[in-house]
Amino acid sequence: MLIKPRLDNLRIIGYYLGQIIIHIGLVMLIPIAFGFVIGEPNPAVDFFIGLEIALIAGLVLTKLCYTQKDPSWMQGMVVVSLAWLAAMFLGAIPLYLSGHWRGFLDACFDSMSGFATTGLVLVQDLDHLSFTHNLWRHLIMFIGGQGIVIIAISFFVKGLSGALKMYVGEAREEKILPNVINTARFMWLVGVIYLVLGTLVLAGIGLAEGLGLKKALFHGVCIFMAAFDTGGFAPNSQNVMYYHSFIFEIATIVIMVLGALNFHLHYHIWTGNRREIYRNIETVTLFVSIMVTFLVTAVGLKHSGIYPQSLVLFRKGFYQLVSGHTGTGFQTIYARHFIADWSSLSAVGVLCAMALGGAVCSTTGAIKMLRIGIIFKTFVQDIKRIILPEKAMVVQKYHHIKTVFLEDKQARSALLITLAYILLYGFGALVGMYHGYPFLSSLFESTSAGANVGLSCGITGAHMPTVLKLTYILQMWVGRLEFISIFTLLGFFIAAIKGK
């Protein structure tokens, strides 16, 4: 029997949701200060309006729903799901006020794309967007990649129990340090240190390639936030093509791969345990997967003959492949080239890379390498059971930070999430096909949205049907949170309607 949520349930959900809304609003102080410093007062006012709305909404919720209780598992999951929708609406307000989006829905699309680190865009005339709004586009990617709820855990959640439930609700399962609050703070430390170092490297390359100092620094910080948090936004309409620099592409590949690695692995690298890189099932699976999918892509490109020179073929093919596999979405080719010029085989290679994704507890989306590794180990275990004598005890293990013995519940969980992602990709493809787009194009774009990648074959644009915009928003939201908290939210609403 479904139990109708009580007033106390709503109070706890409202209080923690209000706290998150307040903190999202406070982040707008950064573009406000930036706008006034660089002489863009009008864009700064857009963020001041957004800040006011966020503070009013957040304060109303926290005052009306004040509680000192920690959220339960159900409440924590509901808070996380609603927090990402709230972030989308709040993040869209200053974007819409800029006048560079056709409507508020388009601004919400780009806001969700930013927070979910997807990178698909509907912005109009990006090259003339203010620096302040452009900074916000990349800042929300940095926040979304680290985790919206990670902010909450880092600053205002006091109880370890409540923090853990919200942490897990944001599709993170691993604790790096003894508790999730310290884990959340460590993740921010990693992000900020890499931000400083990465910005300096990219800015230095920009200076060497002829950009002015201010432009090099701005592009450096924006591109780093989009690369490390595997987002794919760029401060210009040509994306990474704008720089025409092989060194810049190599630097972004390194940053994209760093963003696709497990934060737990970063911790071991920082503490000197570098052997974990080649022992960990995730990094091994990621390396093998990149090689296999690139082989498929390269064979397809060679067959199409679009890049006669091997170096150009490698440069174009490998960059799009790594960008897709890490869930970043940077492009050094025009969107239509995936379908118009590349062969179907090469596009499928990139599509498979997008669908698989990077590591768990990283900034990427999609199925994740740990699950792929577990599924492979499960197949190996089952094959051993078939070929070995019936009385033989078959034990399969893998190394992920520590040695883990494979159990049925791990295999079941990996298979269920993988199936859920495949269904999500297929759902978006069906919607695209319903609106008249070809199968491969529809599946490519749907996978990019559901896996939070951002590579586009040309479907995504302000001109596309409203239903398709809503579908991709839903896919970005569901794909980023990995289903569980979304299903919990649906169950909560059903209980509220039909419960007794």
Specify if 333 maps to a domain: no
Residue 211 lies in a domain: no
Q: Which residue has the higher pLDDT, 478 or 186?
A: 478
Average of per-residue pLDDT across 462-484? 94
* pLDDT tier for residue 57 given thresholds of 50, 70 and 90: very high
Which spans in 209-279 are helix H? 213-228, 246-260, 263-270, 276-279
Tell me the DSSP string of 300-319.
Answer: HHHHHTS--SHHHHHHHHHH
- Separation CA 363–CA 477 (nearest Å): 14
Buried b (16+ CB within 10 A) or exposed e, 116-136: bbbbbbbbbebeebbbbbbbb
pLDDT at residue number 164: 58
Comparison of pLDDT for 218 and 408, the residue scoring more: 218
Instruction: Work out the pLDDT band at 181, boundaries 50, 70, 90.
Output: low
pLDDT at 170: 61
CB 102 within 8 A of CB 124: yes
- Asked if 451 and 324 count as a contact pair (C-beta separation under 8 A), the reply is no
Mean pLDDT over all residues of the chain?
Answer: 89
Is residue 445 assigned to a domain? Answer: no
The answer to whether residue 131 is domain-embedded is yes
Q: What percent of the chain has pLDDT over 90?
A: 61
Q: What is the DSSP letter of 380?
A: H
Q: Is residue 23 part of a domain?
A: yes
For 27-36, 57-66, 101-110, 384-393, which range has the lowest pLDDT when averaged over its residues? 384-393
Question: How many domains does one find in the chain?
Answer: 1
* Position 5 pLDDT exceeds 80: no
Q: Cβ(181)–Cβ(154) under 8 Å?
A: yes
HSE value, Cβ hemisphere, 13 Å, CA-based, for 418: 17
Q: How much is the pLDDT for 219? A: 95
Residue 180 has pLDDT above 70, yes or no: no
User: pLDDT tens for residues 279-301?
Assistant: 899 999 999 999 999 999 999 99
- Residues 6 or more apart whose CB falls under 8 angstroms from that of 157 comprise 16, 163, 166, 181
Mean pLDDT of 302-319: 91
Exposure string of 57-82, with b = 16+ CB inside 10 Å and e = fewer, is bbeebbeebeeeebbeebbbbbbbbb
319 lies in some domain? no
Phi-psi region of 368 (alpha: psi -120 to 50; beta: other; left: phi over 0): left
pLDDT at 67: 86
Tell me the three state secondary structure of residue 113: helix
Q: pLDDT (tens digit, 9 = 90+) per residue, 61-108? A: 999 998 888 888 788 889 889 999 999 999 999 999 999 999 999 999
Predicted pLDDT at 289: 96
In a domain, 110, yes or no: yes
Instruction: Indicate whether 394 belongs to any domain.
Output: no
With 80 as the cut, is the pLDDT of residue 148 above it?
no
Give the contacts of 414 (CB within 8 A, at least 6 positions apart): 370, 371, 372, 374, 375, 378
Domain of 21, in residue numbers: 7-173
